[in-house]
């Protein structure tokens, strides 16, 4: 077994109480049904309810236990490096809208906190994107120049409170961080009342557009004039969002740190192999969070290695030696770096989506709520065109081609990769794909020796799942669905479990 340390649960979840909203036991009618109780869904629900609409948030699990319950929770418009590229890609005017909308989202969060006196460790911090390599310094300088041009609070610095030298960093002033669950639990608790609801443990399986729309769940039906699908990746295949974005999984570890030695601010490295760093209040001191080691979902089996590498980094750079928590989650990366927020397809009049936050959903999930509220109320919003979910997407870029080829390879190649072993070869604590009677079986033997076998075919679009050793889950490399070791769906887009299989 692994030497992983720390509780395998998100600090945000472990440090707050579990919610207890009831499931949908009778059909109801509301103005807006919102599928998914993460930051996008709960922000939209809050704003629509404030605007006088009745809403029903429908959550398959417990609210804020999806990606939003596992984030790093930096609330910033500094998204590693984006502005110099964005100006080249979409022009200065649109890049400006991106900058403004993300800044507006920070202020929206701050205003909720202030108006409702939300006790969520909200604090203003500077955000930094840094490099340790002088070879990358020009990228940093270009980003500062682009950000300043767009009116962002950016500057170039070469000294920070990190306990190691850097070559340079982009610094944004007056950004923010918070305890994401304390913030969102407050919003969630304010929703039920006066014809509005939050339903938990209720999985949406189908949505039929009409007047009203029918939201069909594994229990009863919700009728609504408008529907927002805020399930991270839309559970509906129309709109092809599974092909316009890809799921990326990353890891976080948390260690107690002496406040005198803790860095002040929120930090992220640039490039592919970066670390994301922040602190948060913890008991009578501080917890240091370090995230990173990202990869496409379902492409890595030895996920324990990822945590060990983060631990080594934390020891080496921050001198911490015992770890309190470790957890992991995934988000949808959009190929053009912009989220998709708006109508599901040009043919849908009442179904809306919000996805493709590319690991910056604290602001982009908030933007989604602000923008979708306006679209549903028929209010003009300057960000609508930029984030239009039906916009033509530049599919043919080197990145999108590679990612789609990867998906295709899994779809076709996976069918051929039966390992020819029998379930008797699966050791205790091990998960393995095996071929039995020419069927691909996902087999896991628990520590007590009990065998759990399910079909390895993902019910979403038929790819073959892959074992994730640290999480003890079956992860789909195609569009990121994840299933427990015994096949229960724990992350969409799949709305179904892996089929039970006889061994």
- Give residues in contact with ligand FES (CB under 6 A): 242, 458, 460-463, 476, 478-481, 493-494
Return the number of the residue (131 or 329) whose C-beta is nearest ligand FAD. 329
What is the side-by-side order of every strand in the sheet holding 482-484? 466-468, 473-475, 482-484, 489-491
Which among ligand FAD, ligand FES, none contacts residue 303 (Cβ within 5 to 8 A by kind)?
A: none
* 92-115 vs 361-377: helix crossing angle, rounded to 10: 90
Which among ligand FAD, ligand FES, none contacts residue 74 (Cβ within 5 to 8 A by kind)?
A: ligand FAD
Instruction: Tell which one of 72, 101, 103, 160 touches ligand FAD (CB under 6 A).
Output: 72
Return the number of the residue (62 or 439) whose C-beta is nearest ligand FAD. 62
Minimum distance between the CB of residue 404 and ligand FAD, rounded to whole angstroms?
21
Closest CA to 257 of 283, 280, 284, 288: 288
Q: Is 293 left (phi over 0), alpha (psi -120 to 50) or beta?
A: left
Helix (H, G, I), strand (E, B) or coil at 404: helix
Q: Is 296 in the site for ligand FAD (CB under 6 A)?
A: no
Q: Is 298 in the site for ligand FAD (CB under 6 A)?
A: no
State residue 300 phi and psi, 5-degree precision.
-130, 130
Q: How many CA atoms lie within 13 A of 281 on its CB side?
A: 12
Return the number of the residue (280 or 481) whose C-beta is nearest ligand FES. 481
Closest CA to 212 of 83, 99, 100, 54: 54
Q: Given the rule CB under 6 A, which of 90-98, 112-120, 231-239, 426-434 is the region that contacts ligand FAD? A: 231-239
Q: Is 71 in the site for ligand FAD (CB under 6 A)?
A: yes
| Residues 6 or more apart whose Cβ sits within 8 Å of residue 479 | 233, 242, 246, 247, 407, 460, 461, 463, 493
Contact call for residues 325 and 11 (beta carbons, < 8 A): yes
Minimum distance between the CB of residue 366 and ligand FAD, rounded to whole angstroms?
9
Minimum distance between the CB of residue 286 and ligand FES, rounded to whole angstroms?
38
Return the number of the residue (68 or 440) whose C-beta is nearest ligand FAD. 68
Q: Is 33 in the site for ligand FAD (CB under 6 A)?
A: no
Q: Is 38 in the site for ligand FAD (CB under 6 A)?
A: yes
Which among ligand FAD, ligand FES, none contacts residue 476 (Cβ within 5 to 8 A by kind)?
A: ligand FES
The rounded distance, in Å, linking the Cα atoms of 284 and 198 is: 34
Q: Given the rule CB under 6 A, which of 90-98, 123-131, 148-156, 325-333 is the region that contacts ligand FAD? A: 325-333
Return the number of the residue (88 or 415) whose C-beta is nearest ligand FES. 415
Instruction: Tell which one of 34, 86, 224, 230 touches ligand FAD (CB under 6 A).
Output: 230
C-alpha 430 chain-centroid distance: 27
Return the number of the residue (370 or 463) whose C-beta is nearest ligand FES. 463
Q: According to CB under 6 A, which residues from 236 to 275 bind ligand FAD?
A: 250, 252
**Sign of the CA dihedral with 491 first, then 496, 499, and 500 last:** positive
Q: Is 215 in the site for ligand FAD (CB under 6 A)?
A: no
Measured between alpha carbons, how far is residue 330 from residues 32, 81, 389 in Å?
Answer: 27, 20, 20
Beta-strand relationship, 473-475 and 482-484: antiparallel
Q: Given the rule CB under 6 A, which of 39-47, 295-303, 307-315, 388-396 is the region that contacts ligand FAD? A: 39-47
Q: According to CB under 6 A, which residues from 138 to 157 bind ligand FAD?
A: none
Which among ligand FES, ligand FAD, none contacts residue 40 (Cβ within 5 to 8 A by kind)?
A: ligand FAD
| Residues 6 or more apart whose Cβ sits within 8 Å of residue 408 | none
Which among ligand FES, ligand FAD, none contacts residue 71 (Cβ within 5 to 8 A by kind)?
A: ligand FAD
C-alpha 35 chain-centroid distance: 15
Tokens standing for 166?
Answer: 């850097």
Q: According to CB under 6 A, which residues from 336 to 365 bind ligand FAD?
A: 357, 359-363, 365
Instruction: Tell which one of 30, 39, 453, 454 touches ligand FAD (CB under 6 A).
Output: 39
Tokens standing for 114?
Answer: 């202030």
According to DSSP, residue 346 is labeled T
Which among ligand FAD, ligand FES, none contacts residue 461 (Cβ within 5 to 8 A by kind)?
A: ligand FES
Return the number of the residue (239 or 480) whose C-beta is nearest ligand FES. 480
Measured between alpha carbons, how far is residue 414 from residues 80, 308, 410, 437, 482 in Å?
Answer: 34, 29, 5, 16, 16
Which among ligand FES, ligand FAD, none contacts residue 222 (Cβ within 5 to 8 A by kind)?
A: none
Instruction: Tell which one of 67, 84, 297, 464 touches ligand FAD (CB under 6 A).
Output: 67
The rounded distance, in Å, linking the Cα atoms of 461 and 451 is: 26
Q: Is 329 in the site for ligand FAD (CB under 6 A)?
A: yes
Minimum distance between the CB of residue 341 and ligand FES, rounded to whole angstroms?
22
Tokens standing for 350?
Answer: 């009442």
* 92-115 vs 137-149: helix crossing angle, rounded to 10: 80
Beta pairing partners, 323: 255
Which among ligand FES, ligand FAD, none contacts residue 460 (Cβ within 5 to 8 A by kind)?
A: ligand FES
| Residue closest to ligand FAD (Cβ) | 361
**Sign of the CA dihedral with 80 first, then 86, 87, and 92 last:** negative
**Residues forming the site for ligand FAD (CB under 6 A):** 35-41, 58-61, 65-68, 71-74, 203-204, 230-232, 235, 250, 252, 291, 329-331, 357, 359-363, 365, 492, 495
């Amino acid at each position: 077994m692994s030497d992983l340390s720390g509780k395998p649960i998100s600090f945000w979840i472990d440090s707050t109480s579990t919610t207890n909203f009831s499931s949908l036991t009778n059909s109801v009618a509301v103005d807006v049904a919102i599928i998914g109780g993460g930051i996008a869904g709960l922000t939209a629900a809050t704003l629509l309810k404030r605007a006088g609409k009745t809403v029903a948030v429908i959550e398959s699990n417990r609210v804020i236990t999806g990606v939003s319950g596992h984030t790093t929770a930096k609330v910033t418009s500094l998204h590693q490096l984006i502005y110099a590229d964005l100006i080249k890609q979409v022009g200065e005017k649109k890049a400006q809208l991106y900058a403004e909308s993300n800044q507006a989202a920070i202020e929206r969060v701050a205003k909720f906190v202030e108006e409702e006196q939300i006790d969520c460790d909200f604090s203003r911090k500077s955000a930094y994107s840094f490099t340790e390599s002088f070879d990358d310094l020009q990228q940093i300088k270009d980003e500062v120049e682009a950000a300043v041009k767009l009116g962002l609070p950016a500057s170039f610095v070469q000294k920070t409170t990190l306990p190691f030298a850097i070559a340079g960093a982009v610094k944004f002033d007056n950004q923010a961080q918070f305890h994401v669950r304390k913030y969102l639990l407050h919003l969630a608790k304010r929703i039920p009342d006066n014809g509005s609801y939050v339903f938990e443990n209720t999985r949406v399986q189908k949505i039929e557009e009409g007047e009203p729309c029918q939201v069909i769940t594994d229990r009863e039906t919700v009728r609504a004039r408008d529907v927002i699908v805020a399930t991270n990746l839309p559970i509906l295949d129309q709109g092809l969002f599974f092909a316009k974005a890809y799921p990326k999984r990353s890891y976080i570890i948390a260690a107690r740190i002496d406040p005198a030695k803790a860095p002040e601010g929120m930090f992220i490295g640039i490039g592919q192999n970066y670390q994301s760093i922040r602190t948060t209040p913890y008991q009578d001191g501080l917890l240091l969070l370090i995230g990173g080691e990202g990869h496409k979902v379902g492409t890595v089996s030895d996920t324990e290695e990822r945590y060990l590498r983060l631990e080594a980094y934390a020891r080496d750079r921050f001198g911490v030696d015992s770890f309190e928590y470790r957890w992991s989650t995934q988000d949808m990366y959009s190929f053009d770096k912009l989220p998709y927020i708006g109508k599901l397809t040009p043919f849908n009049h009442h179904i809306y989506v919000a996805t493709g936050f590319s690991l910056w959903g604290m602001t982009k999930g908030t933007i989604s709520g602000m923008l979708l509220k306006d679209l549903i109320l028929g209010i003009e919003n300057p960000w609508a065109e930029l984030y239009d979910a039906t916009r033509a997407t530049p599919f043919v870029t080197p990145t999108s081609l590679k990612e789609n080829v990867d998906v295709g390879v899994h779809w076709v190649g996976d069918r051929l990769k039966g390992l020819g072993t029998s379930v008797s070869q699966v050791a205790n604590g091990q998960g393995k794909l095996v071929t039995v009677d020419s069927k691909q079986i996902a087999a896991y033997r628990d520590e007590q020796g009990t065998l759990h076998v399910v079909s390895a075919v993902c019910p979403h679009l038929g790819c073959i799942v892959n074992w994730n050793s640290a999480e003890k889950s079956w992860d789909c490399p195609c569009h990121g669905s994840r299933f427990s070791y015994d096949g229960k769906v724990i992350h969409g887009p799949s709305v179904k479990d892996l089929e039970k299989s006889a061994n």
